[in-house]
Amino acid sequence: AYTAVVLARQIFGDLDSQTVVLVGAGELVQLCGRYLVDHGIGKLLILNRSRQKAEELAAELDATAMTLDHLEEALPRADILISSTASPTPVIRADDVKAALRKRRHRPMFMVDIAVPRDIEPAVARLRDVYLYSIDDLQQVVDENMQQRSEAARAAQSDVDEAVSGFMRWLYGMRAARTLKRIREQSH
């Protein structure tokens, strides 16, 4: 969930003028919603099969609740769409997204499908002006970030080791200087 929000921030920068549509009301969607609110999202719409669950989550996140049968109305408004439902078949079809893009005058859409099985038809990825990421894509981003963090940690460890060695040399030098001073004083 966090990685999806980080990618959205990389693509759009500030999220305060973006409209986000969350499809579903499960745990991952709730986490995404919280991260988005924490990052100052402009407008948030929550679509779910159950209106009650959508309204409960919308109340928590200061969002607008809708049922999934309003998807056609919500899609053109979505700058960012994150979907995670328990549906065994895709709930967002390529034709729906094509129609939404026409209404949006081909302004880009960032879509994240974190459902298993997928909520967004794979054909959506081939549409111009759509940036579709699946949970597998997000895992690749997480893996790359972990690799970068690991490399940064190794570099930081090397810097720390070097600083500790320098400090220990200084400390031994200070002890040696005191000892030499005492020897000099005793010899005088």
DSSP per-residue string spanning 98-150: HHHHHHTTT--EEEEE--SS-SB-GGGGGSTTEEEEEHHHHHHHHHHHHHHHH
Q: What is the pLDDT of residues 96-145, one digit of tens each?
A: 999 999 999 989 999 999 998 999 999 999 999 999 988 777 666 666 77
Model confidence at 78: pLDDT above 80: yes
Please report the pLDDT score of residue 11 as a whole number.
81
- The average pLDDT across 10-19 equals 86
pLDDT > 70 in the chain, percent = 97
Helices 27-38 + 2-12 axis angle, to 10: 40
Please report the pLDDT score of residue 142 as a whole number.
64
Please report the pLDDT score of residue 47 as a whole number.
96
